[in-house]
Structure 1
Amino acid sequence: MVNSIEIVDAIGLNNDIPYPAQVCLDFELTYQGETFSDWYLPSKDEVHEMYRVLKLSGLGNLAGKSLWTSSEDPEGNLPYGQAWAENMENGYQYSTLKHTRLEKKTRAVRSF
């Protein structure tokens, strides 16, 4: 969750076009009268665990998607920088420009 908070603190709120970390931190789900608002954008290790445990078991509706992560690539291309994403078809993790929106999805997670 720390990565998501740091991303939002650095970028600020964007009400016109929300970005993945902001979408996850803003997400709320009410289930059986209890509201859960502790969602965040997962790190690249957490997304890979989703691939390994969920996707490979046919769970999570993850086929055909690449997911954003909250992990930055320190070797990234300035001025925008790069973040890690993972192709959920094959588990391949790759670095991509943060400002691209090409076929990458956001999956909020929470710790429990």
Structure 2
Amino acid sequence: MTPHNELRLLPWSGPDGKPCFLSTNDTGGLLSRLADTTEADQLEVGRELLEHAMEVLVDAKAEPAELRLLARDLTEALRDTLRVAISRGHRLSTPVGAAHEGGDGSSRLPAAAFG
């Protein structure tokens, strides 16, 4: 794997709401592992919230207050999910010249990148 010189966007904000970043090439370090665990937890909460949202939305008796709370929770989960996606996208390694291999100017990931 190619070493990264970029900062990692962490899955939490600072006290003033600004993004937090980690500068390290050690993916097994304490903060990297904590960030990985936090990202996994955030994605799981989002999955569970989506299931709950589908149940609430088919309930014709759902109260406006419940729907507002659901919208707030979904907004927070979406924010967290987007932050995880951005962070992980920045950490994908792209070999030099890989963006031109497709012939159409698009970059392509090998099949192995998808598990």
Give the TM-score taking structure 1 as reference length: 0.25
Task: Decide which structure has the larger Cα Rg and report it.
Answer: 2
Q: Larger strand proportion, structure 1 or 2?
A: 1
